[in-house]
Amino acid sequence: MRRVLWFPLALLAVAAGLVALWGPPPWPLFGVARQEGPAVLRLYGNIDLREVRPGFNLAGRIAAMELEEGDAVTPGRLLATLEDAVFRARERAARAALEAARARLARLEAGSRPQEIARARAELERLQALARDAELTVGRLRTLAADRFAPKAQLDAAEARLASLRAQIRAQEQTLALLIEGPRREDVAAARAEVARLEAELAIATKQLTDTRLVAHARGVVTARLHEPGDVVLPHTPVYTIALDDTVFARVYVEEPDLGRIHEGMAARILTDSGNVYAGWVGYISPVAEFTPRTVQTEALRTSLVYQVRVYARNPDRGLRQGMPVTVEIPLADAAAR
């Protein structure tokens, strides 16, 4: 019985000595898991920069290219221009047509002027006076023709003149009524629609003239100048390649066992081989697994399923460049607290 009790006690003593000498074992001891302290997940990858390739919205001949490779670009900076003589002429023609249409509309909306109505009324009175005189002449000639003191042809001429004057009076009465009533509503509506159409044409002409100047919309650096002055380009043909300054990201890959230890929004650091350190954050974790790409650098290269992770960072000094190999460190203390 004493030998049976002695053997387990000896095993416990040996285990206690090993723990004291080398620390706790990596597996649970007596059903208690080992508590790990804060750790850092170290990943390896390369820098990717977002690029834009600006181009004109119009077809035309390039008049000037303002930048060279390596030039800095800021929002609003002029990049290139097209020959614009034709577009300026179109804009002037559209503006003149619009002004004429607006003048016609204003005339219709204003209606007849008092002077025009007064002139029409005076013309009507003049025709009425001539008609009364013609009536008297016809009456006298009828009496004379009945007594054979006037030829029949003279009476016919007088009657024809009287009929003509009466027709002119009716026409002038209609003219006076139209002047008093003013323009038709349909004519005013048509004139307004014409003005709206010409305003749209002027807006298009103005936009095309503006589009002859290509300006930048973001900060970056010119990496390629794709055309020269004198080249004829089609709409949306790139003329520059510009690498954007902000934001850049490191494309790294995390193995499946470490996937649950990180999440979007975690703080991270990007370390370059030259010793520069950039603060960043985990911005994207791919939902799809893939095999380890050949370009990934890891401490233990082996074929396994990994997930792409993008760690974003600011790049104020432009120290992070396209394709640069970097090391990404993600502190896991926050993940452990979660």
Q: What is the pLDDT of residues 165-181, one digit of tens each?
A: 899 989 988 887 777 77
Which strands sit side by side in the sheet containing 232-233, from one edge to the other? 213-215, 78-82, 60-65, 232-233
Can you say whether the dihedral through the CA atoms of 311, 317, 322, 327 is positive or negative?
negative
**pLDDT higher at 292 or 238:** 238
What is the pLDDT, as a whole number, of residue 10? 59
Collapsing DSSP to helix, strand or coil, 270 comes out as strand
Give the model confidence (pLDDT) of 78-133 as tens digits: 999 999 999 999 999 999 999 999 999 988 877 767 777 788 888 888 898 898 88
Judged by average pLDDT, the poorest of 66-80, 247-261, 265-279 is: 247-261
Mean pLDDT of 228-232: 95
> Which among 45, 43, 47 has a CA at the least distance from the CA of 323?
47
CB 197 within 8 A of CB 217: no
Give the model confidence (pLDDT) of 4-30 as tens digits: 555 555 556 655 555 455 555 544 443
Can you say whether the dihedral through the CA atoms of 76, 81, 82, 83 is positive or negative?
positive
CA distance 106 to 37: 83
**Contacts of the segment 167-171: beta carbons below 8 A, 24+ positions apart:** 168/127, 169/124, 169/127, 169/128, 169/131
**pLDDT higher at 46 or 304:** 46
- Residue 302 confidence class, pLDDT cut points 50, 70, 90: very low
Q: Please say if the pLDDT value at position 1 is more than 80.
A: no
CB 182 within 8 A of CB 112: yes
Residues 6+ apart with CB under 8 A from 228: 62, 65
What is the pLDDT, as a whole number, of residue 31? 33
> What is the value of pTM for the model shown?
0.62
